[in-house]
Amino acid sequence: MVEFIETDVDGDGYDDLVRVEVDEHGGILAQADTNGDGIIDMATYDVNGDGVAEYAEVDTDYDGIADVSYTGGIAAV
């Protein structure tokens, strides 16, 4: 299942387009274009669907390459 929602994931006061996909195991992949250029800037993956992302990537300088990666319990997008 894939859904598109608009929410302010980066806290800048503007809604961002977020693509949310739930896989067959209940894992949740959320991808966001936070600056509206059509390139994914932020992605989180919640492996077991418990609301805590086990993995995330953020492109802080908007060049299309993830600059920061996180693993472990972090709040999901």
Q: What is the pLDDT of residues 16-38, one digit of tens each?
A: 888 898 888 888 888 998 888 88
Q: 15 versus 77: which is more confidently predicted?
A: 15
The answer to whether the CB of 33 falls within 8 A of the CB of 40 is yes
Q: What is the pTM of this model?
A: 0.70
Element at 42 (helix H, strand E): strand 42-46
In the predicted structure, residue 75 carries a pLDDT above the cut 70: no
The answer to whether the CB of 1 falls within 8 A of the CB of 22 is yes
The answer to whether the CB of 58 falls within 8 A of the CB of 66 is yes
